[in-house]
Amino acid sequence: MRYRKSKWNMDLVYPNKSYGGVYSLGLLIIENIVNLRKDWFCKRVFSDSGKISSKLVGFSLQYELDLKKAISMKCDGLNFAGGPLVSMNPEMIGKHFDFLLIGDVEENIVKVLKEYEKGEDKFLERISKFKGVYVAGKNKVSSAFVKNLDDYSYPVVQEYPEKVDKDFVFGKCFILEIERGCPYNCKFCPLNEFYEKFRYRSLESIKKLIDEGLEKNNVDKVVIYAASFAHPKRKEILKYLLDKKVRVTVPSLRAEVIDKESLELIRKGGQESVTIAPESGERLRFSLNKKVKDEAYFKFIEMANEAGFKKLKVYMMIGLPNTKEKDLEDFVEFTNKIKEKFNGQTYLSINYLVPKPKTEFSEHVFDKKVLKSEAKYLKKELKKIKVKFSSLSTAYKEWQIIHGQLN
């Protein structure tokens, strides 16, 4: 977005590298809404690109480790924050910013802008009356909610730096949000605490966004944003994208709901790999309220083979409450069977559970001794499959930060 002369300015900061931040849909949504208003100019700033120059600055907090960086980047004006991290622990994070935007930003950002236009005198007191705006010491935490996503403006113009190298994982593409929230209720995931309920855009609206986005951005790739790809018209969406002759990238898939036709459509869109997240063996998986039998994943793999996928990414977790020795044995047996059944290359990613606030596991202690023991066992037993473990020290820092230990 080129600079334009304006009466009011806002900077939106992604406190990390631009190769990740350019794909932040929240920033794109706010930038779009602000720049549609008369006398306003808004730009995105990243830790490695751009410079904060406005007196009204918003921070997108996606990950725990970004919080310290965001605090260090605050300016002398008004600083606010939003994003998943904010929704998980607003009382703690609200101490470090003038105000927070919680929930669907489309519902309250314009209201905030209108109050800012009136002047900074009692600004925080005035906006504290809005649902979804939290001002520490002035009101209680609440969350804004958009009932119909089709009713609000979507950022069809999505700008990228002139140079986009291999670090930009999706390259230049059009980001397409087809749904928001998740219809499932996994005990370890805080997503359903962010929104009142799962919603999806209408097929007609999605088709229009695809047409405008491809025309205005001159790209040949669409990345679908969806927590679970549960949209009831997902096949129609994929078929429409294929008619446009563009490449398509979809998120992690729910093995129990995706059928062979959907996988074939995804493959025709140019995607060579497919991702599933079983999390654990069957007994533990059911205890997470992820009630999917092992057989559903094996059936998924059979269909992925038939569709011609070359790579399979499998996400699992350790450190889950009530893990027993038998559960680790099941873990090994289950992942080895996945490797045996898939015709292509299988990549196994093992992550440590970071208990999040606003989940049923919020009080579960991050025990490094237990996690090291489980990881040691799996490293010894998993010989048939390519495995990558996440960083234990990083996971521990994330747990500390989201629970208020910033030192």
User: What pLDDT, on a 0 to 100 scale, did the predictor assign at position 193?
Assistant: 77
pLDDT tens digits along 86-103: 999 999 999 999 999 999
Domain termination site, one of 134, 152, 170: 134
Q: How far apart are CA 394 and CA 144, in angstroms?
A: 31
Domain termination site, one of 87, 104, 134: 134
Is there a domain that residue 181 lies in?
no
Is there a domain that residue 304 lies in?
yes
Phi-psi category of residue 132: left, alpha or beta, with phi > 0 → left and psi -120 to 50 → alpha:
left
The answer to whether 52 and 45 are in contact (CB under 8 A) is: yes
User: Given a cut of 80, is residue 83 above it in pLDDT?
Assistant: yes
User: Given a cut of 90, is residue 6 above it in pLDDT?
Assistant: no
Is there a domain that residue 65 lies in?
yes
Which residues are CB-neighbours of 326 under 8 A, at least 6 positions away? 283
* Buried/exposed code over 152-177 (b: 16+ C-beta within 10 A; e: otherwise): eebbbebebeeeeeeebebebbbbbb
User: Given a cut of 60, is residue 1 above it in pLDDT?
Assistant: no
Is there a domain that residue 139 lies in?
no
Supply the mean pLDDT for the chain: 95
Query: Cα 27–59–22 angle (5° rounding)?
Result: 35
pTM above the 0.75 mark?
Answer: yes
Query: Cα 266–268–273 angle (5° rounding)?
Result: 55
Task: Residue 343: give the domain boundaries.
Answer: 268-407
HSE-CB of 103 using CA atoms within 13 angstroms: 21
pLDDT tens digits along 231-277: 999 999 999 999 999 999 998 999 999 999 999 999 999 999 999 99
Is there a domain that residue 319 lies in?
yes
Domain count, the chain: 2
User: What pLDDT, on a 0 to 100 scale, did the predictor assign at position 191?
Assistant: 87
Band of residue 2 on the pLDDT scale cut at 50, 70, 90: low
Reported as type and span, the H/E element at residue 187 is none
User: Given a cut of 90, is residue 55 above it in pLDDT?
Assistant: yes
The answer to whether 100 and 80 are in contact (CB under 8 A) is: yes
User: Given a cut of 60, is residue 3 above it in pLDDT?
Assistant: no
Question: What is the rounded average pLDDT of the residues 175-191?
Answer: 94
pLDDT tens digits along 357-369: 999 999 999 999 9
Question: What is the rounded average pLDDT of the residues 324-328?
Answer: 97
Question: What is the rounded average pLDDT of the residues 397-402?
Answer: 96
Q: How far apart are CA 34 and CA 42, in angstroms?
A: 6
- Residue in the structure block whose two tokens are 């010894």: 380
Q: How far apart are CA 299 and CA 293, in angstroms?
A: 10
Domain termination site, one of 84, 109, 134: 134
Is there a domain that residue 392 lies in?
yes
Is there a domain that residue 173 lies in?
no
**What percent of the chain is predicted at pLDDT more than 90?**
93
Band of residue 4 on the pLDDT scale cut at 50, 70, 90: low
* Buried/exposed code over 320-358 (b: 16+ C-beta within 10 A; e: otherwise): bbebeeebbebbbebbbebbebbebebbbbbbbbbbbbe
The domain that holds 36 is classified in CATH as: 3.40.50.2300
Is there a domain that residue 206 lies in?
no
User: Given a cut of 90, is residue 107 above it in pLDDT?
Assistant: no
User: What pLDDT, on a 0 to 100 scale, did the predictor assign at position 384?
Assistant: 85
The domain that holds 357 is classified in CATH as: 3.30.750.200
